[in-house]
A and B are shown apart, each in its own frame.
Chain A
Amino acid sequence: MPEPIHTKVLVVGGGPGGYVAAIRAGQLGLDTTLVESDRVGGTCLIRGCIPSKAIIHVAEEFETMVHAGGKGRHGISLSGAPKVDFAETVRWKETVVDKLNNGVSALLKRAKVRVIPGWAKFSDAKTCTVGDTTITAEHVILANGSLPVELPFLKFGGNVISSTEALSLDTLPKKLVVVGAGYIGLELGIAFRKLGSDVTVVEALDRILPLYDAALTAPVAKWLEKNGVALHLGAKAKGLSKDGKSLAVETKDGKTAEFPADKILVTVGRKPNTEGWGLEKMAVDMSGRFVKVDDQCRTSMKNVWAVGDLVGEPMLEHKAATQGEMVAEIIAGHKRRFNPASIPAVCFTEPEIVSAGLLPNDEAAKGDNVITAMFPFSANGRALSMDASEGFVRVLARKDDHRILGIQAVGAHVSELSAEFSLALEMGALLEDIAGTIHVHPTLSEAFHESALRALGHAIHI
């Protein structure tokens, strides 16, 4: 039996919530132990955000060349059609992941965090075993993350894959059927379409990206249509066909259809990882399927904290990391509270969508005290110069005092505008603040400036 470990702070899970908490706790001089069964980095780094962005990037590059290889575009032409070796793409993606994984390991080491590889199983709120090693802790930070939701009639395995497998395929599926038109399904579906797969998307609701309003998602729907992605809304996946080579679907009008598929990618959401590690022995209260926490990420059990996907929506890296950092500081005696003005979110679809703060379909945005103003990229010089006139920036503000309530954009590369959007919200900007800030010409960000001007009633370029 190895020596038992007693630690001040035990972090369970090496994803963005956990590793950030551990690094910060280490920086603050707390004796910190991190348990992770995989490489550190979590879903985001190993099988989520980062690898998908690498694949999406490759898909974009490939699409550009496909255009050049066809009729040519912008004066560029290729003598033949470009080819993609997807196995090589995946290998390159792995180098990106490795780089970041090594970086996180180095940061943990520098912060003097003890990293224990393995699977923590709790016997009570402050005690767990990893293999033969018993770990007791004064503080436990649960950062167990989330898992893809599995459909009971379409279990993962074989050709039915989750996003994890989709990012590590060795060959491109000729025919890909995506179940679920949320952001993960659409990001990957669009990337595979660009890489040359035939893509069919099946969505039970009657719209894509249900978190966002129709205006914001329309450019994405338009791209899907224009690029031959078959979109079946209001359609229910029923399971594999008898030969296992198609997805059986009940379409909107009640008919049964079978969509042939080399791979069926199921992206119907993610669920908090609450099973198989002794959560039930820790006597923490739950809030639905999530661990219940307050605005300091305290669970109902003293000195047991939980962060990230485990504690609720939105299941986003930046939320988890912010909470992890905060919890480490609270344990170190700082006064902190999780009260962001917004948790911005980005969809790396084509085109991209970014949203910070209030959306027009939110209850609080209804009523007559809200101004909404939109500025289209078709009137933005930089967008036109990138052949990306689709989309807009939209701002919601209070009519009486002009405080900005929400900002969204849809368009090429708008993900990078998210920083200005969330900064504006965090700093409590008014429309006048944005109107009074010089935005560089020619950039996409000018569209934010113009949307603020338009909300004030005096846009220049429209």
Chain B
Amino acid sequence: MGRYVFKLPDVGEGTAEAEIVAWHVKLGDHIAEDQNLVDVMTDKATVEMTSPVSGKVIALHGEPGQMAPVGAPLVELEVEGAGNMAGKAAPVAKAETPKPAAPETKPETRPAAKPTEPVRNETPRAAAFATRSADTKPLASPAVRQRAEELGIQLQFVPGSGPAGRIDHADLDAYVASGGKASVARASGHAQRDGVDEVKVIGLRRKIAEKMQDTKRRIPHYAYIDEIDMTELESLRAHLNATRRAEQPKLNVLPFLMRALVKVLPDYPQINARFDDEAGVVHRHAAVHIGIATQTANGLLVPVVKHAEARDIWDSAREVARVSTAARENKAGKDDLSGSTITITSLGALGGVATTPVINHPEVAIIGPNAIIERPVVRDGAIVVRKMMNLSSSFDHRVVDGYDAAEFIQKIKALLEHPAMLFMD
């Protein structure tokens, strides 16, 4: 028997470290070759690490949420043959192997700097807790009541495991240990909820949190919102969808908006840009790589439609569908998730009246179409029903002046209101 140490490989693009997102194996597991060991995340790509060998897991290094440098041992396996380590299973590994009865809890291997363990909402000891209405005095002996007083706990909210919901010392202990979790039916019949779940901000959520914080700290945002009459564009879109060929994708508003962007942006190179504020350089891009803000099960991702300027309306629609599906299915590659020069954030049917979107740093602009709604508007002195949409946008005021941004949006508006212009050079 030998020992095989699986180290965090270079997951590409010069990453120096990756975050452990989720373990798929635990101590003592017998795993097969190519079995998924662990998910790690770099930048915005989550990568599944599979085992190059089969064997038995004898040590795991790191907790979800921890950063591991490239080359750091992640998993140690006991394998047939010699393994990749000189010597047999190291005594260290043995010492670190906790009791097999409780493989999930590894107090010995817990790094000292680990963040606080989230409060576990264990099933309360007082499973038989009879609901206590607000006007019913909790049943407890004087000693228990005095201890509760000293602890500053109102017994009304403590589940009692005794007959008739009587609260004993152990119930009080359990309540304290649970951080004050209880379910109390009030006179209203609605249970009061207590207790706080601590959720570690790790993985993608941490990335989002860091990025949003960084973005908001760096960029002086301003928002600009105007309304756009989408009646004609909607009519064109309905026609195109009705007459499209089988291989052509169904069109939503996005490809049209993308077309409008690529037509207007050459006149506003400062908007299709990435601002390296540390170097003090704005990189104005000729290509238009449009980030598409996408909600996934884990949180927000921004896959990128590359070279939108070179795509027609159908191709744009197809590419939006491809990259956003890849992101939702957690299959987007690093390339699909980086390099955007401007971003569109659309909530689709949830569009709302207006939004103040957060710029996708280091970009300098973000465009957010809101919901299309039939509204009465005045045309030629008469009230008519038109399909109206607000277009929200945010800009980086350091490099985009308000006047330019307004003009930019007005040009987009003109194109969308006269959709034939989208297709003319």
Contacts and interface: CB of A to CB of B under 8 A. Distances in A.
A323 B300 CA distance: 60
Interface in A393-422: 398, 401-403
Nearest to A296: B149
Given A335-B149, A401-B164, A403-B166, 8 more contacts: A336-B146, A398-B164, A401-B130, A402-B163, A427-B141, A428-B141, A428-B164, A430-B164
B137 A401 contact: no
Contacts of B83: none
Contacts of A334: 150
B165 A401 contact: yes
B361 interface: no
Interface residues of A, number: 15
B149 A337 contact: yes
A341 interface: yes
A332 to B, nearest CB: 13
Interface in B321-355: none
A2 to B, nearest CB: 41
B254 interface: no
Contact of B137 (A335, A337, A341, A430): A341
27 contacts: A334-B150, A335-B149, A335-B152, A336-B146, A337-B149, A341-B142, A398-B164, A401-B130, A401-B164, A401-B165, A402-B163, A402-B164, A403-B139, A403-B164, A403-B166, A426-B141, A427-B141, A427-B142, A428-B139, A428-B140, A428-B162, A428-B164, A428-B166, A430-B163, A430-B164, A430-B166, A432-B163
Contacts of A432: 163
A79 interface: no
A385 interface: no
A339 B164 contact: no
Nearest to A426: B142
Contacts of B259: none
B181 interface: no
Contacts of B137: 341
A426 B162 CA distance: 15
B145 interface: yes
A206 to B, nearest CB: 32
A426 B137 CA distance: 12
A356 to B, nearest CB: 14
A336 B139 contact: no
Contacts of B150: 334-335
A374 to B, nearest CB: 22
Nearest to A428: B139
Interface in B259-313: none
Nearest to B160: A428
A21 to B, nearest CB: 18
A58 B48 CA distance: 94
Contacts of A335: 149-150, 152
A334 B149 CA distance: 10
Nearest to B135: A364
Nearest to A405: B137
Contacts of B142: 341, 426-427
A318 to B, nearest CB: 14
A339 B140 CA distance: 11
A398 B150 CA distance: 29
A427 B163 CA distance: 12
Give the interface centre of B145, B152, B164 by most chain A CB atoms within 10 Å.
B164
B184 to A, nearest CB: 16
Give the interface centre of A334, A336, A402, A428 by most chain B CB atoms within 10 Å.
A428
A22 B140 CA distance: 29
Nearest to A340: B142
Interface in B120-174: 130, 137, 139-142, 145-146, 149-150, 152, 162-166
A432 B130 CA distance: 17
Given A401-B130, A401-B164, A432-B163, A339 B145 contact: yes
B160 to A, nearest CB: 9
B147 to A, nearest CB: 10
Contacts of A428: 139-141, 162, 164, 166
A231 to B, nearest CB: 38
B34 to A, nearest CB: 58
A209 B262 CA distance: 95
Nearest to A339: B145
Q: Sorted from nearest, which 10 A-B pairs have the closest CB atoms?
A: A401-B164, A428-B139, A403-B164, A428-B166, A335-B150, A427-B141, A335-B149, A426-B142, A337-B149, A430-B163
A359 to B, nearest CB: 16
Give the interface centre of B137, B139, B162 by most chain A CB atoms within 10 Å.
B139
Contacts of A339: 145
Contacts of A426: 141-142
A49 B140 CA distance: 31
A428 to B, nearest CB: 4
A401 B137 CA distance: 13
Interface in A412-462: 426-428, 430, 432
Nearest to B139: A428
B385 to A, nearest CB: 61
A428 B130 CA distance: 15
B97 to A, nearest CB: 46
Interface in A194-248: none
A244 B146 CA distance: 56
Given A341-B137, A428-B141, A336 B149 contact: yes
A105 B152 CA distance: 36
A341 B142 CA distance: 8
Nearest to B144: A428
Contacts of B162: 428
Nearest to B168: A428
A334 B152 CA distance: 12
B131 to A, nearest CB: 11
A393 B233 CA distance: 88
Contacts of A401: 130, 163-165
A401 B129 CA distance: 12
A195 B360 CA distance: 100
A162 B139 CA distance: 42
A173 B422 CA distance: 118
A292 to B, nearest CB: 22
Interface string A319-343: 0000000000000001111010100
Contacts of A341: 137, 142
A311 B162 CA distance: 35
A144 to B, nearest CB: 27
Nearest to A398: B164
Interface string A170-202: 000000000000000000000000000000000
A430 B139 CA distance: 10
Contacts of A427: 141-142
A336 B165 CA distance: 23
Contacts of A337: 149
B48 to A, nearest CB: 54
A155 B231 CA distance: 97
Interface string B211-233: 00000000000000000000000
Interface string B352-367: 0000000000000000
Contacts of B146: 336
Nearest to B138: A428
A327 to B, nearest CB: 14
Contacts of A403: 139, 164, 166
Contacts of A398: 164
A335 B148 CA distance: 10
A334 B146 CA distance: 10
A403 B163 CA distance: 8
A344 to B, nearest CB: 14
B254 to A, nearest CB: 61
A452 to B, nearest CB: 14
Give the interface centre of A398, A402, A403 by most chain B CB atoms within 10 Å.
A403
Contacts of B165: 401
A264 B420 CA distance: 112
